Structure 1
Amino acid sequence: MTDTTSPAAFTELVNLAARTLGAGVVAANDELFAEKENLIVAAPAEFRPHTFGHKGQIMDGWETRRRRGAGADEPHPTDADHDWAIVRLGVAGVVRGVVVDTAHFTGNYPETGSVEGASVPGAPSPEELAAAEWTELVPRTTLRGDTAHEFPVELEQRFTHVRLNIWPDGGVARLRVYGEVVADPRDLDGLTFDLAAQESGGVATGASDRYFSSPHNLNSLGRAAVMGEGWETRRRRNKDHDWVELKLAGEGEVLAVEVDTTHFVANCPGWASVSGRDGSGEWFDLLPRTRLQPDTRHRLRVTPQRPVTEARLNVFPDGGVARLRLTGRLTEAGRAALALRWLNLVPAAEAEQALAEAGLSAAEAASVSAARPFADAASARATVDALQPQDTPDGADTTRRRAAIWRLLGV
């Protein structure tokens, strides 16, 4: 039985199924008692007793009708009969753990459940998702009522959607899908963007204090609607300061910094600085210690010194910050590393399509895809160079193939 007495380590990662990142519940076979959209509501589920609507007690979750058998002689559902809901992840990524929360469902929770994942690029319809290839993330397992079930996942694959299955029927309050964002490098080509943003793969990796709210709020999408949607520390009683460290989407050059204290009025830090770190492990200033004003977006241009892979926001002495933005651009090495990770993690069909679109033949794309995972960009290029020549002039194949892998990986 899953231990639910303490949070699993994966719950400290980004919730890929957060509506603030763009997640949505795109389909469900039934939602007669309670709407499927409740599954990804950010707040914990609530219960208000004796609150009845036209279809019964109003539940803060997703709840299906009671299943019945084929007829009077077979009144019970079969072992295969089950309900399901499909969630589009806000950002695609590697799933490290899932929480299936049956909070407040006591006499109406499912007997068992499972979770599957699929990778379908673009904006597929429910019909296209139904026909997709689904991979088991959490095998069918027993569920309990009023319990947050934590399931670690150990699959090295990128997913865009998850499907929650429940047998034979019942209700689930919340579904959380924690993991690591894996952006499509083609979406970032030639752009300046927020290198720290969750949607691009930036993630908070450590913080001195998270008493009032999570450091993951710092690099969420959009602006904070209330103070609780930022990062805030307790009041410091010594002469030190607070900080958050973030891993960036990839190695890049920071061109501008935004420190947003919106909604923080009497608890805004007095000053802030931003440091960067590269492969050497040495921290250096991106933004020197700068005076902050309450409830203000501070937007500051900076001069790139050298590429960074990590950043650290320091606030003096304590307080709250709504958002941190680090606008910049990937280096060639950063773009190549991002692309290689993406290529290694997408399903074979998706990798073959991307390689074919870059310029390889279908047969060549299938051969390169089958050779994954690649340890580094050089091994990917070597695999392309080793492909058998086609009926083209001498050297033309190698030139074409190298151009194709360069377009995809930048090597």
Structure 2
Amino acid sequence: MTDIPKEGKLTRFLDFTQLIDMASECVGGKVLFATDDFFAPAENLIKSDSPSFKEHEYTEFGKWMDGWETRRKRIPGHDWCVIQLGVQGIIRGVDVDISYFSGSYAPRISIQAANLNEENVPTMPPRGVKTGAAATPEEFEAISELNSDSWDYLVPMSELKLGDPDSSHNYFFVNSQQRWTHIRLNIFPDGGIARLRVYGTGQRDWTSSDSKEPVDLVAIAFGGVCVGFSNAHFGHPNNMIGNSPDSCQVDGCVLTTQEEEDMVRNQWILPAHKWKPLLPVTKLSPDQTHVLDSLTLELQDVITHARFTIIPDGGVSRLRLKGFPSSICLLRPLREKPTLKFSLKAGFRANL
């Protein structure tokens, strides 16, 4: 086992949080192994949404918690888990979020990493539903092939600090220029962590690619990243070069010129009843053009504004709303009014 470096300190430089979360489930991150998942499974660590708290909810094993929580150690050692990064590349920093774990968070952590070839990663037994269980001898045997206890340290053993109960982030800067594919999160000796964010930039192994086939050079998996933007209130521009959205919906409304100006000043906070559904939540497929009919077979209302929502995030290259000008549409008999059609192309999904 490699020597454990001296205790680390929290970083004050939070610029790396503008980068992508390379471990997130939404980009293909996956938990390969965890020593224990008794109170809550390690898969919660890489959820894309923020942690939540349900005051009166319990499981058969205890209080329901939105994170990874292990039982108290009755034997020597500490708990740890191994995560396969969804985007492989250079890690700039990590966020260890212990929100809502005010009485049971892990006191200390360390993070190790490795750059592994896919063929060298053993086939792990399916984890399934892990709440209330510990790793099996079969799982320990499989993960031992990775020798993860000897991986390089990105974050040495470091103390976690609890801030606000509902927002306790611990940020650590990573000083490494190497490419990484897997990380090991160690908690000392046990306890809970809500989320683990691994921020960085993708870096592709170009030696394994076909030089005759074009690729999307701006894809986040290959190192694409936004280095400047004018406004990111509704989402960081990096989302445009990530995966395609899972689904989308379109709503419409009728506004006067003055109402439009008011909405711009109020960041489009419009009463819900003003919006009329034009397209329900609809599943999308990556790198495909979709032609979709509106929710109503015969659209009777004139629409001046449309709101296009992608769920949960991602990239869309074009959106077309095909219909008729109001001066023509309103003159048609009801039975002849056309169906509004939507044409859009979801973003390219890299082979993560």
TM over 0.5: yes
Give the partner amino acid of 2:221.
E
Structure 1 residue 291: deviation in Å? 8.7
Structure 1 residue 15: deviation in Å? 1.2
Structure 1 residue 205: deviation in Å? 2.0
Residues 42 and 266 (structure 1 numbering): CA distance in 2 closer, same or farther, change over 3 Å? same
What SS class does the counterpart of residue 207 from structure 1 fall into? Answer: coil
Q: Which runs of 4+ in 1 moved over 6 A?
A: 257-263
Residues 268 and 38 (structure 1 numbering): CA distance in 2 closer, same or farther, change over 3 Å? closer
Give the partner amino acid of 1:20.
C
Q: What are the residue-to-residue correspondences of 1:11-410 with 2, within 5 Å?
A: 11-69=17-75, 81-122=77-118, 124-125=121-122, 126-130=143-147, 133-145=150-162, 146=165, 147-189=168-210, 190-226=212-248, 266-267=306-307, 292-294=319-321, 295-298=342-345, 323=347, 325=348
What SS class does the counterpart of residue 205 from structure 1 fall into? Answer: coil
CA distance in 2, matches of 1:260, 1:217: 20
5+ residue gaps, structure 2, are 1-8, 123-142, 251-262, 266-286, 295-304, 310-316, 322-341
Structure 1 residue 56: deviation in Å? 0.3
CA distance in 2, matches of 1:227, 1:27: 37
What SS class does the counterpart of residue 17 from structure 1 fall into? Answer: coil
Give the partner amino acid of 2:28.
G
Give the partner amino acid of 2:247.
A
Q: Contact between 2:201 and 2:220, CA under 8 Å: does it hold in 1?
A: no
Residue matched to 2:10: 2
Q: Contact between 2:115 and 2:179, CA under 8 Å: does it hold in 1?
A: yes
Structure with the higher fraction of residues in helix conformation: 1
CA distance in 2, matches of 1:292, 1:43: 26
Q: Contact between 2:41 and 2:69, CA under 8 Å: does it hold in 1?
A: yes
Structure 1 residue 91: deviation in Å? 1.9
Q: Contact between 2:106 and 2:160, CA under 8 Å: does it hold in 1?
A: yes
CA distance in 2, matches of 1:103, 1:28: 20
What SS class does the counterpart of residue 45 from structure 2 fall into? Answer: helix
Residues 51 and 292 (structure 1 numbering): CA distance in 2 closer, same or farther, change over 3 Å? closer
Structure 1 residue 219: deviation in Å? 1.2
Structure 1 residue 94: deviation in Å? 0.9
Residue matched to 1:362: none
Residue matched to 1:254: none
Q: Contact between 1:34 and 1:61, CA under 8 Å: does it hold in 2?
A: yes
CA distance in 1, matches of 2:249, 2:117: 35
Give the partner amino acid of 2:63.
Q
What SS class does the counterpart of residue 204 from structure 1 fall into? Answer: coil
Residue matched to 2:255: none
Output the TM-score relative to the length of structure 1: 0.54
Q: Contact between 2:248 and 2:308, CA under 8 Å: does it hold in 1?
A: no
CA distance in 1, matches of 2:69, 2:231: 37
Q: Give the stretch that moved more between structures: 26-35 or 144-153.
A: 144-153
Structure 1 residue 266: deviation in Å? 1.1
CA distance in 1, matches of 2:289, 2:174: 35
CA distance in 1, matches of 2:83, 2:148: 15
CA distance in 1, matches of 2:202, 2:116: 15
Q: Contact between 1:195 and 1:326, CA under 8 Å: does it hold in 2?
A: no
Residues 326 and 62 (structure 1 numbering): CA distance in 2 closer, same or farther, change over 3 Å? closer
Residue matched to 1:363: none
Q: CA RMSD in A?
A: 3.3
Give the partner amino acid of 1:267.
R
Structure 1 residue 144: deviation in Å? 2.4
Work out which structure has the larger RCO, using CA pairs closer than 8 Å and 6 or more positions apart in sequence.
2
Residues 132 and 66 (structure 1 numbering): CA distance in 2 closer, same or farther, change over 3 Å? closer
Structure 1 residue 260: deviation in Å? 9.2
Give the partner amino acid of 2:81.
A
Output the TM-score relative to the length of structure 2: 0.62
Q: Contact between 1:261 and 1:293, CA under 8 Å: does it hold in 2?
A: no
Seq. identity, %: 36
Residues 266 and 202 (structure 1 numbering): CA distance in 2 closer, same or farther, change over 3 Å? same
Give the partner amino acid of 1:51.
E
What SS class does the counterpart of residue 25 from structure 1 fall into? Answer: strand
Structure 1 residue 223: deviation in Å? 3.4
Q: Contact between 2:243 and 2:349, CA under 8 Å: does it hold in 1?
A: no
Q: How many residue pairs were aligned?
A: 246
